[in-house]
Amino acid sequence: MTDVLALRDNARQQLAAIKTIETGINYLNKVKAIEVWAKAEKKDAELQNMIAEQKIRTQRILGQLLKENEVKNHGKNQYNAESNDATRQSLSSFGLTKDQSSTFQKIAALPEDVFEREIASAKEESEKRVELTTSRVLFAAKEYEQQKKKDEAQITARDKELIEALKRGETIVVNQKTDLAAIKYAEQNNLYVRCDRFSDFGNPFEMDKDGDRNEVCDNYANHYLPFKPSIHKQLNSLKGKALGCWCAPLRCHCDTLKNIIDAKN
């Protein structure tokens, strides 16, 4: 496929030629078509990762162009309620959804060194059949965004209570979105354990899909955790730690973990 050869030999020049949202989207669609072809033909991992890298770099450029377009046209970002309708209309004229725009802009917001480190890391892991994907880079972008919020967080009364509980050696449950000062303290003292679905401890039951908050927490406690010896073997390591999820102070599956740990001690 001649397009693959052109992409491989002229990757940087092709990216540098993207000056508008329209040209960026056209090029992104072209790269996606090459990606589909490469997967269908079962091309080697190195080639597929090269194509994926070009796609992600294109998305990053588009994210910056979209951000500049929003500022120019609205003076507001896409999360401002007053500009939502205008933003949706503008995005649809480019053939993009709001979610796609958000993803591209989050990737664009990553500092250059963080972005390049993630790309390099994926390349090193390609021998282990680890794919370079938009989701992987988006996860890195969200992690960076979350760390930035933690660094800027003002300590709240709840944060103070949680920190004091940690100092007393208690196991606590923290909200990864709001309890940022407490999480920062826990991380600095090696007391933070992520317990959402990106960890071994996550709840496979989803709210709405599998029931309301109480139902999914009950299902975790009664129909999942009892049959996960791999989790029970790790419970002692959670004692005195901050267990991070997204629900606290509302009921959370982490409360079940905390209760078992507390009962043992």
Tens digits of residue pLDDT in 20-39: 999 999 999 998 998 888 88
C-alpha 117: how far from its chain's center?
16
Q: What digits encode the pLDDT tens for the residues 133-160?
A: 777 787 777 777 777 776 777 889 999 9
Compute CA distances 94 → 7, 17, 67, 109, 182, whole Å. Answer: 23, 18, 14, 21, 42
- Confidence band for 130, pLDDT divided at 50, 70 and 90: very low
- Give first-to-last CA distance, the chain, whole Å: 64
Is 114:144 a contact under the CB 8 Å cutoff?
Answer: yes
Neighbour count for residue 156 (Cβ, 10 Å): 14
pTM above 0.85, yes or no: no
Tokens at residue 98, please? 């709001």
Crossing angle of helices 45-73/21-40, nearest 10°? 160
Q: Is the pLDDT of residue 251 over 90?
A: yes
Q: How confident is the model at residue 192, as a pLDDT?
A: 96
Torsion from C-alpha of 101, 106, 108, 109, nearest 10 degrees:
140
Please say if the pLDDT value at position 55 is more than 70: yes
Q: pLDDT (tens digit, 9 = 90+) per residue, 188-209?
A: 999 999 999 889 999 999 999 9
Closest CA to 260 of 212, 226, 223: 226
* pLDDT confidence band for 129 (50 / 70 / 90): very low
The domain ranges of the chain are 2-149, 157-264
Average pLDDT of the segment spanning 168-193: 94
For 20, the token pair is 């508008």
pLDDT of residue 85: 55
Mean pLDDT across 236-241: 97
- Summarize pLDDT for 76-119 with one digit per residue, the tens: 444 444 455 555 557 788 888 888 999 999 899 888 888 888 88
Q: Of 220, 264, 233, 238, whose CA–CA distance to 171 is shortest? A: 238
